[in-house]
């Protein structure tokens, strides 16, 4: 049903390209860099290092892994969303790799925005077993994992 | 919008709002003059301060350019008494202007000077609005120095919003809370999907909205005559600025229905899809 709507939206509305949507996604991309003060390259290496740390304790779905920097009122939250496949201590070592690969394949991929960069990814669905955190209420940016 | 949670002694002091944007030319001076005039019309003793040192404009927008004797820099340097530098509006007994100097000395004033000047006037007014220069350099830092809150002006354009976001960050690092004014919006373009909607801008910036002002030729007419647009109650912009002033006074003035977003989004929302 939703796709039918999208179809009409794009086909009937003169190609349907509303330029404001482009503005919005480009803004969201550039604001991640502005807000974190990290350029694209730094963000990519920040994510890689985070993944490494988290993987010491959990088997995670790297496709769904995402970092965002959100402001609401006076508080800013660094939001790290990392879908967890399983706790590392729950499975025998040799099965870890296989399990990670299997789960990663089946999972819905995160939506990628303009410029195709990994720094601009957002997770469109949050799995119930995600390692995630919100709700910091301080003025200083907080890290929530 | 929070009232200043100051101690008892600050209770009867005016609120200082810095009107800022990051990007130039988005309507800071227009907003300062219009909201200042609207607050004065509501009976609030209001001082508007031109913090755009070297590029003053608030005086001409208010039609007070030929009454200036002293200015903010003179007050900071004790060249004159605080009351001597203030110019009274022709149209309202409650509206006053503290002009900027026209010197181009970059370091004419410091942040400490601004704090000092705010404290000199604070007790005498209900509201003080500081018209901030564009950018995030010293002029911006000065204008923020004595401020309790910020009115963040932006237009629904990508560069203005990006700069606004940067400024919100800088303000919150100074513990200054910002309220959003979306200026120069064109609802025809929003309906066509070629301009970000009020909701879009609010979503992106994540701060409270205090008002929306449409693109309106009457603003230029008003500027030509040196009369704030709020006196033109038939214009679109005048009443919009008056509503912002009312909200600043704590009145509960509901936001208009801005027709939200583009046609398809509205249709989608109606049929429960988007
Ligand atoms: N809502 C509006 N509709 C139409 N024109 C507007 C509107 N708001 C502002 N303008 C016009 O935009 C121009 C810039 O406005 P203004 O001088 O208030 O901006 P500013 O942010 O103070 O600029 P600067 O950064 O240079 O100080 C002016 O010519 C003004 O008349
Ligand atoms: Mg100006």
Partners of B274 on chain A (C-beta within 8 Å) are 5
Count of domains forming chain B: 1
Model pLDDT, residue A119: 33
Partners of A26 on chain B (C-beta within 8 Å) are 158
Model pLDDT, residue B246: 98
Q: Are A67 and A43 in contact (CB under 8 A)?
A: yes
Single pTM value for the model: 0.79
Domain assignment of residue B44, given as a range? 10-249+257-270
Q: Is the pLDDT of residue B264 over 80?
A: no
Atom of ligand 1 nearest to the CA of B223: 31
Q: Which residue has the tokens 């030509």?
A: B224
Tell me whether residue B3 is in a domain.
no
Distances (CA, A) of B69 to A115, B80, B83: 55, 10, 11
Tell me whether residue B5 is in a domain.
no
Distances (CA, A) of A15 to A7, A55, A105, B9: 10, 44, 33, 62
Element (H, E) at A71: strand A66-72
Mean pLDDT within B102-107: 74
Tell me whether residue B4 is in a domain.
no
pLDDT tens for each residue of B226-262 = 999 999 999 999 999 999 999 999 999 999 887 645 4
Domain CATH number, residue B80: 3.40.50.300
Model pLDDT, residue A107: 40
Q: Is the pLDDT of residue B79 over 70?
A: yes
Distances (CA, A) of B222 to A84, A110, B35, B63, B231: 60, 50, 14, 10, 9
pLDDT confidence of B96, banded at 50, 70, 90?
very high
Model pLDDT, residue A12: 52
Please give the Cα distance from B32 to B46 (Å, whole number). Answer: 11
So what's the ipTM on this one? 0.78
Q: Where are the alpha helices (DSSP H) in B48-150?
A: 58-61, 72-76, 82-85, 111-122, 138-145
Distances (CA, A) of B165 to A70, A139, B160, B215, B247: 12, 15, 9, 22, 23
Ligand 1 centroid from CA A8, angstroms: 39
Please give the Cα distance from B165 to B149 (Å, whole number). Answer: 16
Question: Minimum mean pLDDT among B13-17, B216-220, B221-225: which range?
Answer: B13-17
Tell me whether residue B200 is in a domain.
yes
Q: Where are the alpha helices (DSSP H) in B43-157?
A: 58-61, 72-76, 82-85, 111-122, 138-145
Q: Which residues line ligand 1 (CB under 6 A)?
A: B 21, 24-30, 52, 134, 183-184, 213, 215-216, 219-220, 223, 237
Nearest to B131 by CA among B245, B48, B35: B48
Q: Is the pLDDT of residue A25 over 50?
A: yes
Tell me whether residue B2 is in a domain.
no
């Amino acid at each position: 049903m939703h796709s039918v709507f999208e179809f009409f939206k794009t086909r009937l509305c003169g190609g349907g390209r509303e330029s404001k949507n482009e503005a919005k996604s480009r803004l969201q991309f550039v604001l991640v860099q502005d807000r974190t003060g990290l350029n694209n390259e730094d963000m990519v290496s920040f994510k890689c290092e985070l993944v490494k740390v988290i993987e010491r304790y959990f088997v995670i779905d790297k496709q769904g892994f995402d970092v965002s920097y959100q402001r609401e009122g006076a508080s800013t939250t660094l939001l790290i969303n990392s879908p967890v496949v399983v706790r590392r201590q729950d499975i025998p070592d040799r099965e870890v790799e296989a399990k990670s690969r299997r789960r990663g394949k089946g999972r819905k991929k995160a939506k990628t925005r303009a410029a195709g960069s990994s720094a601009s990814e957002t997770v469109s669905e949050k799995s119930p077993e995600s390692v995630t955190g919100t709700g910091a209420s301080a003025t200083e940016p907080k890290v929530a994992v | 919008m929070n009232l200043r949670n100051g101690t008892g002694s600050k209770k009867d002091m005016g609120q200082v709002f810095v009107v800022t944007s990051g990007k130039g030319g988005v309507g800071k001076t227009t907003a300062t003059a219009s909201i200042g005039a609207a607050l004065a019309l509501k009976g609030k003793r209001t001082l508007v301060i031109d913090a755009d040192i070297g590029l003053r404009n608030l005086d001409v927008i208010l039609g007070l350019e030929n009454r200036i004797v002293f200015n903010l820099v003179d007050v900071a340097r004790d060249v004159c008494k605080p009351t001597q530098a203030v110019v009274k509006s022709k149209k309202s007994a409650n509206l006053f202007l503290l002009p900027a100097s026209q010197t181009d000395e970059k370091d004419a004033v410091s942040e400490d000077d601004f704090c000092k000047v705010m404290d000199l006037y604070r007790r005498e007014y209900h509201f003080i609005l500081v018209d901030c220069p564009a950018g995030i350099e010293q002029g911006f830092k000065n204008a923020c120095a004595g401020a309790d809150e910020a009115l963040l002006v932006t237009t629904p354009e990508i560069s203005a919003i990006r700069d606004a976001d940067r400024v919100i960050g800088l303000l919150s690092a100074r513990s200054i809370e910002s309220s959003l004014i979306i200026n120069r919006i064109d609802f025809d373009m929003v309906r066509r999907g070629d301009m970000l909607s009020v909701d879009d801008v609010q979503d992106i910036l994540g701060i409270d909205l205090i008002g929306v002002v449409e693109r309106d030729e009457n603003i230029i007419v008003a500027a030509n005559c040196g009369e704030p647009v709020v006196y033109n109650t038939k214009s679109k912009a005048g009443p919009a600025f008056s509503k912002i002033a009312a909200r600043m006074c704590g009145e509960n003035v509901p936001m208009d229905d801005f027709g939200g977003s583009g046609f398809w989004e509205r249709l989608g929302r109606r049929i429960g899809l988007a």
